[in-house]
């Protein structure tokens, strides 16, 4: 299983763009990268998933360089409600995928 490394915590201010980078040096050919968001007292919520290059949805963008050894979740113009823990997961979709969440990145958005 590919191991992921991401910062323990980050701070930002309302209106700023936030980029959270996840390292996954031993990512396998068939592995996808998935990000989840978790608010206190709630279960994780899927944000975005990608395999290579760039993926964008209404919530975030995911940038994956050509070597796929890292990925960056980009949250545009964050608000206080984006304060949460963000998890990066790597695994083979459709195979024997054992989701490994790790400790995630605790993002605090300040007024």
**Of 54, 59, 13, the residue nearest 36 (C-alpha):** 59
- Distance CA(102)–CA(57), nearest Å, equals 24
Contact call for residue 98 and another protein (CB under 8 A): yes
Contact call for residue 49 and another protein (CB under 8 A): yes
Strands (E), the chain: 9-13, 18-23, 31-38, 45-50, 53-56, 61-64, 70-75, 84-92, 105-110
Total chain residues near another protein (CB under 8 A): 24
Secondary element (H or E) of residue 40: none
Stretch that binds another protein, among 11-19, 39-47, 62-70, 76-84 (CB under 8 A): 39-47
Smallest distance, another protein to C-beta of residue 94, A: 6
Q: Using CB under 8 A, which of 43, 66, 67, 111 touches another protein?
A: 43
**Which residues sit at the interface with another protein, rule CB under 8 A?**
32, 34, 36, 38, 42-46, 49, 85, 87, 91, 93-94, 96-104
């Amino acid at each position: 299983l590919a191991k992921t490394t991401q910062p323990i915590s980050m701070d930002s201010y309302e209106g700023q763009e936030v980029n959270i980078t996840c390292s996954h040096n031993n990512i396998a050919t068939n592995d996808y990268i998935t990000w989840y968001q978790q608010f206190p007292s709630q279960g994780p919520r899927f944000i975005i998933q990608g395999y290579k290059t760039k993926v964008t949805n209404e919530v975030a963008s995911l940038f994956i360089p050509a070597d796929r050894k890292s990925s960056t979740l980009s949250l545009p113009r964050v608000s206080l409600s984006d304060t949460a823990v963000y998890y990066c997961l790597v695994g083979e979709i459709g195979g024997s995928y054992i989701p490994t969440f790790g400790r995630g990145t605790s993002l605090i958005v300040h007024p």
